[in-house]
Amino acid sequence: MSDPKDQTTIIPHSQQPLVTRAYPNTEELEKIILSSADAQKQWAKVPLSGRITIANKFVDEFSKMSNEIPGELTLQMGRPISQAMGEVRGFLDRARYMISIAESCLADVSLEDTDKPGFKRYIKRIPLGVVLVIAPWNYPYLVSINSVLPAIIAGNSVLLKPSPQTPLTAERFALALTRAGVPFTVIQVVHLSPKLTEYAVRHPKVDFVSFTGSVTGGKLVQEVASHAGGFKGVALEAFLGGKDPAYVRADADIDHTVAELADGSFFNSGQSCCAVERIYVHESIYDDFVPKFVNIAKTYKLGDPTKPDTNLGPVVSLASAERIRKQVEDAVKAGAKKLVAEEDFPVAKPGTTFVAPQVLVDVNHSMELMMEETFGPVIGIQKVSSDEEAVKLMNDSPYGLTASVWTKTDSNPESEQAFLRIVDELETGTVFLNRCDYLDPALAWTGVKNSGRGISLSKFGYDQLTRAKSVHMKIQTQ
């Protein structure tokens, strides 16, 4: 089977073509990679202060585009236009934070306090070289900013490969960077077929690969990189998959918790790596919690994402919709009970990308619904009798991206101690208290198990995109 020559983005809600992008041939891709490697050497010579100045100009240039982006994003991946601006704001917030810490994170580490007389030692942070960023479609701006901008500030060049579903996002990102003063060959967007992506991953001039996507895709990237010769760095960033749990303790503020967890479950049609996908509720409040959650689910307006009153859009593809429906039906066959009537959302018909919000009870861990990523507007709620049972179930997963605990620590010191014990016991990258589905750029974004390997954001994000070089000077030789 021959490799495709181009890609076409299909609008999720209408199933009509949006844009088509041609793939380079192998010779063209080779030139792109070599030009990136050459450009990186020159870019690294620009003083850090100069790169930071350009990064600040980039924020201004991207801000000028902000009114054009929501509509484009809605057509590419289906998020309601009423919610799309949130990704722009989050993108800019993360950019500003990573710029603000760049100087301290990339400065030489002095050892002057422990230097012996006649010696000077320090550690430099050196760019890796050419960084290939393979970005996802579900939060294309928010995920890309985590690695692309810090990589460029650190002195790397970047090849940015967007998902075929969201090609315009990478093009806008690169346009803002070049308008700010980043050389065109330092940030290049590459639309690649699977075969060409493998070529880029194993290319000797590509020094580091940052991948965000499926577990299957991450394993393939790792395998290809391992056969590339040498020891190529690979970050299978903490977005490979998630089945993020929430535990609602007996003293939780139920109204607050229900509202927050419904949003964490259904926002972006559940298509978030850190969406809440399973909820464990203490048996003493279970009967109060569930109907309130169902009532919120029934208020969602599912439909055309380009309309301002829609707050639940389609999932990304017909294949995704069918997979989600099958997971729900398999759970029902195994004994689960659906609490949202299908007639409440008549637009959610088989053969469409519209999937109704669904709440299931009488679920357990023998069901795929509670074990494997749904990536849709569906939640399973399970009753538990204790913290110990909740933690055991929360950890009973091949994934470990985020987890949330809901309890009143402000008025109950025992609840705070319980939360801190649970933090230590959970096998996950981030633990939230009384919130969920959120990234703070000052905190390390990371995961365990099949949720990936690597760190982005925070000061540790710069460590991943640089290497240490030690300098040991004997100044006095006599």
List active site positions: 237, 273
Under 8 Å between Cβ of 377 and 327: no
Give the CA angle between residues 51, 57, 62 to the nearest 5°: 125
Maximum Cα interatomic distance, the chain, rounded to a whole number of Å: 89
Half-sphere exposure at residue 119, Cβ-oriented, CA atoms within 13 angstroms? 11
Under 8 Å between Cβ of 58 and 177: yes
Q: State how far the Cα of 340 lies from the Cα of 450, in Å rounded to an integer.
A: 31
- CA-wise closest residue to 401 among 427, 439, 429: 429
Position 411: which residue type?
A: S
Please identify which residue in the block is written with the tokens 């309130």.
Answer: 292
Please report, in angstroms and rounded to a whole number, the separation of the first and last CA atoms in the chain: 71
Q: State how far the Cα of 51 lies from the Cα of 398, in Å rounded to an integer.
A: 40
Position 89: which residue type?
A: R
Under 8 Å between Cβ of 190 and 183: no
345: CB partners within 8 A, 6+ apart: 302, 354, 356, 357
* C-alpha radius of gyration, the chain, whole number: 24
Under 8 Å between Cβ of 410 and 436: no
Q: State how far the Cα of 25 lies from the Cα of 79, in Å rounded to an integer.
A: 33
Q: State how far the Cα of 167 lies from the Cα of 189, in Å rounded to an integer.
A: 9
Q: State how far the Cα of 174 lies from the Cα of 170, in Å rounded to an integer.
A: 6
- CA-wise closest residue to 169 among 145, 151, 146: 145
Under 8 Å between Cβ of 129 and 78: no
